[in-house]
Amino acid sequence: MTRHLAAEAYNFAYLDEQTKRMIRRAILKGIAVPGYQVPFASREMPMPYGWGTGGVQVTAACLVPEDRLKVIDQGADDTTNAVSIRRFFQRTAGVAVTEATAEATVIQTRHRIPETPLTKGQILVYQVPIPEPLRFLEPRETETRKMHELEEYGLMHVKLYEDIARHGQIATSYAYPVKVEGRYVMDPSPIPKFDNPKLAGSPAIQLFGAGREQRIYALPPWTRAVSLDFDDHPFETSKAPHDCDLCGAKNSYLDEVITDDQGGRMFVCSDTDYCAGRRARGMKGRLWAPEPEGAA
């Protein structure tokens, strides 16, 4: 796709400066009104809608030549789409890249927040498929915008209540809505609810880009973001009740990997950088062994 993309034929980080300015304005507005979805004139990007065009545009608007970029998908640096987006910015912006969360200045992510706590000065850019937390309760954009304007979130609470009535608990496991600074209900993108507590009070800037839906929103540093719940049914996180089989971590989010057709499975950190870092420091999980010879 971008194989023949000659670096000099495109502006730094692909987008022209006018477009970046338009996106930066939307970002600034988003930061000024935390959790509010700012419409922006999303451009067609050379990767498809649904592949992270919103995140890519936000990243492109944020990048400066001195940045060090990390891209993850499902928490991993080596999934194909993360590789593809990282390469895109290497080619069009020539910025340094890293897999280490602590070393990155800008991190673009799909579906996870890194396990390593973020620090001041970092920017975390989320790829967002459906920015509207009320969308599956009300399909019309004209209606949902009005509901946000009037702070009318009763429908959402009814939905959560019905979950409890039916299942005894809130049956949302990812893209779990949060209320930002007591005002806007916000979709945190499809991160597992395990990650929700990391949204609040982060020293990093968190930016959310939805390309197809043409929306940008933001959580400035140190912002309150409360996962919706009820007093008698407080929000709780969830993860597989195991330790990482490679690094032994007890408190990281795990991927379940099917290892054979006899029901065998193992659990490994979804955050590959976190897991590799722990192993490099000598921590071992149940099944950790050096790579067998000849393994690809």
Partner 1 sequence: MYVAVKGGERAIDNAHEWLAEERRGDPSVPELTIPQIREQMKLAVNRVMAEGSLYDPDLAALAIKQARGDLIEAVFLIRAYRTTLPRLASSRPVDTGAMAVDRRISATFKDLPGGQVLGPTFDYTHRLLDFALMAEGTTPNEKVPSPPVGQGSAESESHVPHVTDFLNRDGLIEEEALSETMPPDLTREPMELPANRALRLQALTRGDEGFVLSMAYSTQRGYGRTHAFVGELRTGKVAVEVDIPELGFTVEIGEIELTECETVNQFKGSKTEPPQFTRGYGLVMGQSERKAIAMSLVDRTLRWQELGEDFTGAPAQDEEFVLMHCDNIQATGFLEHIKLPHYVDFQAELELVRKLRAEAGAMQEAAE
Residues 219-248 that bind partner 1 (CB under 8 A): 238-240, 245-246
**Catalytic residue, candidates 35, 55, 211, 285:** 35
Q: Which of 12, 24, 46, 138 binds partner 1 (CB under 8 A)?
A: 46
The binder of partner 1 chosen from 36, 89, 153, 194 (CB under 8 A): 194
Which window, 69-77, 100-108, 180-188, 200-208, contacts partner 1 (CB under 8 A)? Answer: 69-77
Cβ neighbour number for residue 290 with a 10 Å cutoff = 6
Specify whether 35 is catalytic.
Answer: yes
CB 147 within 8 A of CB 155: yes
Q: Please identify which residue in 6, 165, 280, 295 interacts with partner 1, judged by CB under 8 A.
A: 295
Closest CA to 178 of 117, 229, 109, 127: 229
Sheet holding 184-186, edge to edge: 184-186, 178-180, 225-227
Cβ-based nearer residue to partner 1, 66 or 142? 142
State which of residues 81, 90, 98, 116 lies at the interface with partner 1 (CB under 8 A): 81
Least distance from C-beta 23 to partner 1, angstroms?
Answer: 12
**Overall residue count recorded for the chain in this entry:** 296
Question: Should residue 41 be labelled a site residue for partner 1 when binding is judged by CB under 8 A?
Answer: yes
Phi and psi of 225, rounded to 5°?
-145, 105
**Which residue in 28, 64, 158, 171 binds partner 1 (CB under 8 A)?**
171
140 binds partner 1 (CB under 8 A): yes
Tell the smallest beta-carbon distance from residue 141 to partner 1 (Å).
6
Question: By CB under 8 A, is residue 208 in contact with partner 1?
Answer: no
Q: Which residues contact 169 (CB under 8 A, 6 or more apart)?
A: 163, 233
- Under rule CB under 8 A, residue 294 binds partner 1: no
Which are the contacts of 85, defined by CB distance < 8 A and separation ≥ 6? 47, 51, 52, 55, 56, 71, 108
Instruction: Return d(Cα 179, Cα 226) in angstroms, integer.
Output: 5
Q: Please choose, from the candidates 60, 48, 213, 43, the residue with its C-alpha nearest in 3D space to the C-alpha of residue 123.
A: 60
The answer to whether residues 270 and 74 touch, using CB atoms and an 8 Å cutoff, is yes
28: contact with partner 1 by CB under 8 A: no
Residues 93-132, interacting with partner 1 (CB under 8 A): 110-112, 129
Point out the catalytic residue in the list 52, 62, 209, 247.
247
Number of residues lying near partner 1 (CB under 8 A): 71
| Helix residue ranges per DSSP H, 43-123 | 53-62, 80-93
The nearest distance, CB 38 to partner 1, in angstroms, is 9
User: Cβ(23)–Cβ(61) under 8 Å?
Assistant: yes
In whole angstroms, how close is the CB of 264 to partner 1 at the nearest point?
10
Footprint (CB under 8 A) of partner 1, residues 265-284: 266, 268, 270, 272
Catalytic-residue membership of 62? no
Does residue 192 interact with partner 1 by CB under 8 A? yes
Could you tell me which residues are beta bridge partners of residue 254? 269
Active site residues: 35, 244, 247, 269, 275
